Amino acid sequence: MSDINLNLIAVSKKIDYITTISGNIVGWMIIPMVLSLAYEVVARYIFGAPTIWAYDMTFMLYGAFFMLGSSYTLKNKGHIRTDMFYDAWSHKTQAMVDLACYAFLFFPFTLIFTLVGWEYFYQAFINDERFVSSPWMAITWPFMMTLPLTGFLLSIQGISEVCKCIVAIKLNQWPLATKQES
Amino acid sequence: MDQQILGIIGLGVLLCAIFIGFPIAFTLGAVSIVMGFIALGPVVFDLAILQTLSVMQDSVLAAIPFFLFMGFLLEQSGIMERLFYSIQQLFGGLRGSLYLAVIVTATIFAAATGIVGSSVVLLGVMAAPSMIKSGYDTRMSAGAITAGGTLGILIPPSVMLIVMGPVVGVPATDLFAAAVLPGLLLAFLFAAYCMVRCWINPALGPALPLEMRAVSLKPVLIDLMIGIAPVIVVLLATLGVILAGIATPTDAGAVGCVATFLLTTLSGRMSIAKIKNCVMQSLQVSSMILLLVTTSNLFGAVFSRLGSADMIANFLASLPLPPMAMLILILLLIFLLGWPLEWVPIVLIVVPIFLPIIKAAGIDLIWFSTLVAVTLQTAWLSPPVALSAYFLKGVAPTWKITDIYAGMSQFMLLQVFAVILLLIFPQLATWLPSIN
Amino acid sequence: QSSPIKMKIQAGVPSASIYYELMKNFGDRVDKMSNGRLKVEVLPDGAVVGAFGILDAVDKGVVDGGFAWTHYWSGKNSAAALFSNPASGSGVGLDQVSHMSWLKNGGGDQLYDRLFTEVLKKNIKPFMIQPMGPDPFGWFKQPINSIADMKPMKYRSPPGLTAEIFKEMGLTTVSMPGAEIVPAAQRGVIDAAEWIGPADDMILGFQNVFKHYYLQGLHQSTDVAELLINRTFWDKLPADLKVIVETAVSATIAETYTFNVYRNAIALEKLKKDHGVKVHDTPKEFFTAFQTATTVVYARESEKNAFFKEVLDSQKKFAGIVVPYWTQINGLYYNIGSTVVGGKK
Ligand code: NA
Ligand code: NA
């Protein structure tokens, strides 16, 4: 294999590693999510003493959970495709189609999340915006920060996927084949 | 170019773009943004963010990660496999018994949840492995799970009916009552279809081989009790609290997770590695589903903003047709729009345009709403833009999407048959609300 | 003639709401007055964005206009609630009419404009358009005679500072979207709830799960909905179209007053006759307790937020002049009405 290919694979491996770590951190958010809502149910319905924070806490965690997990899902090929034509193509063709789609469909999408999402986060941060859904009136910026962060994580994972595409186009063989972990 | 025309072109582009084979969530997002950008300019970026924020704060959708986590815990612990095996043993010689189990479970589950996503994934996680192992037909299995799962949004509670109530001006509780019989009718049609097909062709859902059948009923029943007991505990902890009116489905999802976790861990069926597996799978499938929901909402919002649906509906509404012909035309339009779109823009935009005609013709609003609801159900089963297919693919990755499409299409036809029955027998919808 | 200008307004209410109907009327009026040069299209809640996304959507120009309530933006600045829904007349005794008078004659409109331009920094031209209050205290499964009766109940209230006032009174509130209230109540998730008023509440079917209705609400004793217009869109309108929009807004304010009284009255009649709903007076102790809690919460907020204090002070000053007079007048009408209906409800 040529140096270029090896370099691309090395870059891809590094990014995949970062994404795996981010996924491992985000995944465990489901535990506090479950526990805070379960605690609320017990507090509200059994002890008649509801908290003011548990609902908001759960929904903030839920929103962050699926958004931040989307790059990990991309890495594991967990975002569903219609595979009827795709599966029949050679690896090279698959990679060429993917490369075009990353360029024209994927990056514009993630770029918007990164840039416009950042603007929303920044406004929420400097204006000290609050959630009005409960008397807790929680600050919104940590929640809003997940928008640009999702855009960023997706974008770098996209770079890794593009590296894999380029190698696959050259070799007509997907490198670092990830099994679909489902 | 007219914005309305652009919206219709967008629908066509979407239907084609999906077949390229790029992850659908990103395809949907990109098509929406490009279509929106051409028509509206950069404001579509803000629309994308606002739509995302609203899915991120949707307390009803928040049930999805909980039900997924619960489902994976049950699956990893092996409890579900044991339960489904016991059912097969119990019905030993009956062909397609697992289909029956899936539809019955789906119907019970539909009475607890108001959305499709949590039903389809939970059924997929729990039943698909057993169906594969028992040599069941992939298409029919996928069809039964997706169709059964869509009952979640028809049998009360239902977010679709909650949204439709204030649009039509009928209390959602009346619509709930009206949807019960059509929901059960569909469940019956689904089950009957599976059983008849299997009876004709045993290969679709083979009965347990003779040598695997139980010799006597007693050990089977004991095994079933042992298999069922934990599941009953979990069902009581989740469905029970919802049905008893103690908590919302999302609340109950969290309680169900805790109950399932305690149950599986205390019975020694869990390990750290398995738990980690459940956590990461829940993350992955939640992300897949909710990103799809986000981008399909975005597509719907752009489409609504462009006014294409208004244009078509206003045109049809202006036709001089007798009421019944108009009613059938409306249902046909909703059916066709359900192909590329999800139910939200159809309920919010299309239904109100026809409402004056329906009211003027003296057509019963509860009957009309129920017809619309059952017709909209088909949108979940009409490929290629059929979210339930993607949800299922996420939890049953070995099934090809083409097989899932083929399977769900059969059930979509049953759904159409149900609409026709409902047209002929309005009492199916109007009887229960009238005695309420 | 150039082609007509289109104004898309995203409403925060569903299409069956009487307030949606009023916005449609507003659009028709603009259309006719401008001889078809300005076409208004009203979209129901959720069509493009949800109710809580309207502010940002109008600011960025995703839609040209929005129909919602100022208190929806109180998470961005708590003073927002004082413009549309000050609790118990801001604690200074303003009612729906005198509150509108404050907006028009007491400097309220100027502060309202500043809220959007200076405080929230939004590219928005705001109009108060539908004085639809007061909102009833709401629906109960069991009648209540005291605050203590309500303590074990789970009550759906509007979010934000209002929820904080209930909390100050020791009551438990939950927040949920309007359309989900009745299904939640049917399953017993909540025991009591407030929404908008008899006409809109009836559409959602509150009468099917609750039979006790308390019309006298303090938490939204005034309730004014607003029309937000993207300022770039507004600035581009020719001068005559601007006046047409402003005039149509004034007409809608007048229409809301008359429409609201009639539509809610016939809805209430129907609720009582056909659905066996019992209407009760809100127990007296709620008035003092709520008023006290409002003063405490608002004073606390005034310390944290200078603009909140400025608005509240303006209302206090105005109320000092108007409330003594207006209360006498309200007394007149109350006495006239009471001699006719007596204790009947
Ligand atoms: Na349901
Ligand atoms: Na579809």
Residue C195 in this model has a pLDDT that exceeds 50: yes
Distance CA A115, CA A81 (A): 27
Question: Minimal CA–CA distance to C198: which of C257, C134, C149?
Answer: C134
Q: Domain-by-domain residue ranges, chain B? A: 3-434
At residue C39, what is the residue type? K
Residue B244 three-state SS: coil
> For chain A, what is the mean pLDDT?
89
B65-79, B132-146, C309-323: least confident range: B65-79
The dihedral formed by the CA atoms of C164, C170, C171 and C177, expressed in degrees to the nearest 10? 20
> In the prediction, which pLDDT does C343 show?
57
Distance CA A173, CA A62 (A): 38
At residue C214, what is the residue type? Y
| DSSP class per residue in B100-161 | HHHHHHHHHHHTT-SSHHHHHHHHHHHHHHHHHHTT--HHHHHHHHHHHHHGGGTSSS-HHH
Cβ–Cβ contact B352 with C under 8 A: yes
Per-residue pLDDT of A90-127, as tens digits, reads: 999 999 999 999 999 999 999 999 999 999 999 999 98
**With bands split at pLDDT 50, 70 and 90, how would you rate the model's confidence at C324?**
very high
Distance CA C122, CA C15 (A): 27
Distance CA B205, CA B88 (A): 11
Residue C197 has a CB neighbour count (10 Å cut-off) of 24
At residue C294, what is the residue type? T
The ligand that comes nearest to the alpha carbon of residue B112 is 1
Give phi and psi for B319, each to the nearest 5: -70, 140
Question: Minimal CA–CA distance to B294: which of B55, B60, B32, B61?
Answer: B55
CA atoms within 13 A on the CB side of C154: 23
Highest mean pLDDT among A50-54, B116-120, B238-242: B116-120
Per-residue pLDDT of C152-168, as tens digits, reads: 888 998 877 888 899 89
Residue B436 has a CB neighbour count (10 Å cut-off) of 11
Distance CA A155, CA B26 (A): 12
A21-44: buried (b, 16+ CB within 10 Å) or exposed (e) per residue? Answer: ebbeebbbbbeebbbbbbbbbeeb
> In the prediction, which pLDDT does A49 show?
74
B313 contact residues in C (CB cutoff 8 A): none
B303-307, C51-55, C98-102: least confident range: B303-307
Compute the distance from residue B115 Cα to the ligand 1 centre, in Å.
Answer: 6
> In the prediction, which pLDDT does B280 show?
95
> In the prediction, which pLDDT does A182 show?
32
Neighbours of chain B (3+ CB pairs under 8 A): A, C
Which whole number is the average pLDDT over B223-249?
Answer: 69
Residue C177 three-state SS: coil
At residue A33, what is the residue type? M
> In the prediction, which pLDDT does C184 show?
82
Which whole number is the average pLDDT over C249-262?
Answer: 95
Q: Which residue do the tokens 């509130």 mark?
A: C173
Residue A179 in this model has a pLDDT that exceeds 60: no
Distance CA B249, CA B23 (A): 30
Residue C246 in this model has a pLDDT that exceeds 80: yes
Task: Give the number of B-C residue pairs with CB atoms closer than 8 Å.
Answer: 113
> In the prediction, which pLDDT does C63 show?
96
| CB-closest option in A35, A67, A80 to B56 | A67
**With bands split at pLDDT 50, 70 and 90, how would you rate the model's confidence at C344?**
low
Which whole number is the average pLDDT over B324-341?
Answer: 89
**With bands split at pLDDT 50, 70 and 90, how would you rate the model's confidence at B214?**
low
Residue B237 three-state SS: helix
Which whole number is the average pLDDT over B28-42?
Answer: 91
Which whole number is the average pLDDT over C123-148?
Answer: 95
C342 CA: distance to closest CA in chain B (Å): 33
Which whole number is the average pLDDT over B292-316?
Answer: 87
Counting residues of chain B whose pLDDT is more than 90, the rounded percentage is 39
> In the prediction, which pLDDT does A33 show?
95
Per the structure block, which two tokens stand in for B434? 């009238």
Per-residue pLDDT of B76-111, as tens digits, reads: 877 777 777 777 777 767 888 889 989 988 888 888
- Dihedral-angle region of residue C281 (phi above 0 means left; psi in -120 to 50 means alpha; beta otherwise): beta
| DSSP class per residue in B335-393 | HHHTTTS-HHHIIIIIHHHHHHHHHHTT--HHHHHHHHHHHHHGGGTSSSS-HHHHHHH
Counting residues of chain C whose pLDDT is more than 70, the rounded percentage is 99
The one-character DSSP state at C19 is H
Integer-rounded Cα radius of gyration of chain A: 20
- Using an 8 Å Cβ cutoff, are C1 and C35 in contact? no
C8 contact residues in B (CB cutoff 8 A): 305
Question: Minimal CA–CA distance to B178: which of B160, B152, B155?
Answer: B155
Per-residue pLDDT of B359-371, as tens digits, reads: 888 899 999 999 9
> In the prediction, which pLDDT does A70 show?
97
C172 contact residues in A (CB cutoff 8 A): 50
Residue B195 in this model has a pLDDT that exceeds 80: yes
Q: Write the CB contacts of B34 (distance below 8 Å, at least 6 apart in sequence).
A: none
As a residue count, chain A comes to 182
Tell me which of A148 and A47 has the higher pLDDT. Answer: A148
A44-48, B315-319, C111-115, C292-296: least confident range: A44-48
Q: Write the CB contacts of C47 (distance below 8 Å, at least 6 apart in sequence).
A: B301, B304, B305, B345, B348, B349, C10
Question: Minimal CA–CA distance to B67: which of B261, B252, B291?
Answer: B252
Question: pTM for this structure?
Answer: 0.90
Neighbours of chain A (3+ CB pairs under 8 A): B, C
**With bands split at pLDDT 50, 70 and 90, how would you rate the model's confidence at C317?**
very high
Q: What residues are paired with C10 via a beta bridge?
A: C43, C66
Relative orientation angle of helices B272-306 and B24-40, to the nearest 10 degrees: 30
| CB-closest option in B26, B29, B69 to A30 | B69
Counting residues of chain A whose pLDDT is more than 70, the rounded percentage is 96
Which whole number is the average pLDDT over B55-76?
Answer: 86
Tell me which of B217 and B424 has the higher pLDDT. Answer: B424
Cβ–Cβ contact A21 with B under 8 A: no
Contact criterion met (CB < 8 Å) for C159 and A134: yes
Q: What residues are paired with C224 via a beta bridge?
A: C131
Give phi and psi for A16, each to the nearest 5: -55, -35
